[in-house]
Chains A and B, each alone.
Chain A
Amino acid sequence: MRNTFINTITELAEMDERIVLLTADLGYKIFDNFAKKFPNRFYNVGIAEANMVGVAAGLASFGMRPYVYSIVPFATLRCCEQIRDDVAYNNLNVKIVGVGGGYAYGFNGPTHHGIEDISVMRSIPNLNVLCPGDSLETENIIISSWLGHAPTYIRLGRGGEPKVHKSLSKGILKRVNESEDFEDLIIFSCGGILSIVDSVNALLRKKDIKSTVVSVPYVKPLYGSLIADMCRQTKNVVTVEEQTIVGGFGGAVAECLMEDRIFVGFKRFGIRDMFIHTAGDQEYLRNLAGLSVELLYKNILEFLKNNE
Chain B
Amino acid sequence: MGTKLSEKGYIVTVENSYDNDIYGYCLNCSNRHTDSRENRIKILESWSRKIRSHVVTMAHNSKSPHIGSALSCVDILCCLFFEVMDMYEDYFILSKGHGCMSYYAVLAEKKIFGLSLLDQYAKNGGKLPEHPPCGIIHGVPGIEIGTGSLGHGLAISLGRALARRIRNIKGNEFVLLGDGECNEGSVWESAMFAANANINNIIAIVDRNNMQCAGFVDRLNMVDKWKSFGWNAIETDGNNIGCLLRAFDELKTLTKPGVIIANTIKGKGISFMENELEWHYRFPNEQELSSAFKEINNA
Which residues in A have some Cβ–Cβ distance to B below 8 Å? Answer: 20, 40-41, 43, 45-46, 48, 50-51, 53-64, 66, 81-82, 85-86, 89-91
Contacts and interface: CB of A to CB of B under 8 A. Distances in A.
B167 A55 contact: no
Given A46-B196, A58-B160, 15 more contacts: A20-B163, A20-B166, A45-B197, A46-B192, A50-B151, A54-B152, A55-B156, A55-B158, A58-B158, A58-B162, A58-B163, A62-B163, A62-B169, A86-B156, A90-B144
Given A61-B156, A91-B134, A48 B163 contact: no
Interface of B: 134, 136-137, 144-149, 151-152, 154-167, 169, 185-186, 189-190, 192-193, 196-197
Nearest to B154: A54
Contacts of A54: 152, 154-156, 158-159, 186, 190
A54 B189 CA distance: 10
B158 A85 contact: no
Which are the 4 A-B pairs with shortest beta-carbon distances?
A58-B159, A54-B155, A62-B163, A51-B189
Nearest to A53: B155
A16 B193 CA distance: 25
A199 B160 CA distance: 48
Contacts of A82: 152, 155, 186
| Max count, chain A CB within 10 A of own CB: residue among B144, B147, B166 | B166
A58 B149 CA distance: 16
Contacts of B193: 45-46, 48, 51, 55
B145 A51 contact: no
B159 A62 contact: yes
| Max count, chain A CB within 10 A of own CB: residue among B134, B147, B155, B197 | B155
B192 A48 contact: yes
Contacts of B166: 20, 40-41, 64
Given A54-B154, A85-B149, A59 B163 contact: yes
A85 B164 contact: no
B167 A86 contact: no
A95 B158 CA distance: 18
B160 A61 contact: yes
A25 B128 CA distance: 39
Contacts of A60: 159
| Max count, chain B CB within 10 A of own CB: residue among A43, A51, A62, A63 | A51
B149 A62 contact: no
B63 to A, nearest CB: 25
Contacts of B159: 54-62, 66
Contact of A55 (B148, B151, B162): B162
A48 to B, nearest CB: 4
A20 B167 CA distance: 11
A172 B144 CA distance: 33
A55 B164 CA distance: 12
B161 to A, nearest CB: 7
Nearest to A63: B163
A80 to B, nearest CB: 11
Contacts of B196: 46
Nearest to A41: B166
B146 A85 contact: yes
